[in-house]
Amino acid sequence: EAPAVANAGNTKEAKDITLGFSQVGAESGWRSANTKSIQDSAKETGYTLKFSDAQQKQENQIKAIRSFIQQKVDVIAFSPVVESGWDTVLKEAKDAGIPVVLTDRAVDSKDTSLYITFLGSDFVEEGRKAGQWLSDQYKDASEDINIVELQGTTGSAPANDRMEGFAEVIKTNPHLKVIASQTGDFTRAKGKEVMQAFLKAHKDIDVLYAHNDDMALGAIQAIEAAGLKPGEDIKIISVDAVKDGMQAASEGKINFIVECNPMLGPQLMEIVQNVVDGKSVEARIVTEESTFTSEQAKEALPSRPY
């Protein structure tokens, strides 16, 4: 028997609860782990999941949300590819009486009544952790340290915030200089391509800060192809701590990884349950995360779940 839940006097069995989820895409290892977590958790709870992949395009997400509204799902959840431009469609959901949950990425809407809660990481804090490690590494530097930055998807919360947190911390050390910063769209292919261009344009790159592991992994290919040693000739910091990233870290090719947890499924299903039950939900739910040096990555790798 599926557990019954109540909504304003009506009881609904788990199997009668439908969640519409609009995913960003399949751009990275993080995203694949996130999708799997959501699909597995929906199955476990017995909810019906309508899952839609937007292929990194906002217009596809807006279409998916409109279709969820038409299908009268019980709850809509989505991970907004970029921060701005959501007010109209979120108002449509609100007018239809369908609660919306933001997962993973934030929106910049002033009207916070347009969604119930935002479940995800603190990306500014992730950027600060990356900057702090670097700042500590070079606290005695007497010359300029040239940093190149591979940004995530332009206009996305993690790209904006990881850039901001990092900049905030490294500015306390005047020798840390970001000499180039460009988007690699969170993908391996673009990370490689942009790093190739960085290497052509700048002869003296000391550090790469990549907003995710996949871009760092692409950049590592470009660095090796240029006859340089990743992790030695160029120090590398990235964010996520997915398996391939942790593998590269354990081999010393990535020096420091800031963890970003993609396993949001179980918490999302709990939120859906509470929303359907008419219970109150916290407006912001932050996931817990740590960091890994190469040595710590080597130790943690065998027991990483994703």
Q: Is 46 left (phi over 0), alpha (psi -120 to 50) or beta?
A: left
- Taking CB under 6 A as the criterion, the residue among 37, 212, 255, 273 binding ligand GYE is 212
Question: Is residue 209 within the footprint of ligand GYE (CB under 6 A)?
Answer: no
Question: Is residue 186 within the footprint of ligand GYE (CB under 6 A)?
Answer: yes
Question: Is residue 130 within the footprint of ligand GYE (CB under 6 A)?
Answer: no
Q: Which residue lies nearer to ligand GYE by CB, 34 or 294?
A: 34
Q: How far is CA 286 from CA 1, 58, 129, 223, 262, in A?
A: 33, 24, 16, 35, 12
Q: How far is the CB of 51 from ligand GYE (least distance, A)?
A: 17
Question: Is residue 28 within the footprint of ligand GYE (CB under 6 A)?
Answer: yes
Question: Is residue 47 within the footprint of ligand GYE (CB under 6 A)?
Answer: no
| Concatenated DSSP letters of 172-208 | TSTTEEEEEEEE-TT-HHHHHHHHHHHHHH-S---EE
Question: Is residue 104 within the footprint of ligand GYE (CB under 6 A)?
Answer: yes
Q: Which residue lies nearer to ligand GYE by CB, 145 or 162?
A: 162
Question: Is residue 250 within the footprint of ligand GYE (CB under 6 A)?
Answer: no
Q: Considering only the stretches 27-35, 63-71, 83-91, 265-273, report the one whose residues sit in contact with ligand GYE under the rule CB under 6 A.
A: 27-35
Residues 257-296 that bind ligand GYE (CB under 6 A): 260
Which 3 state secondary structure label does DSSP give 150?
strand
Q: How far is the CB of 245 from ligand GYE (least distance, A)?
A: 9
Task: Identify the CA nearest to 82 among candidates 99, 61, 63, 98.
Answer: 61
Which 3 state secondary structure label does DSSP give 130?
helix
Q: How far is the CB of 299 from ligand GYE (least distance, A)?
A: 22
d(CA 216, CA 130): 14
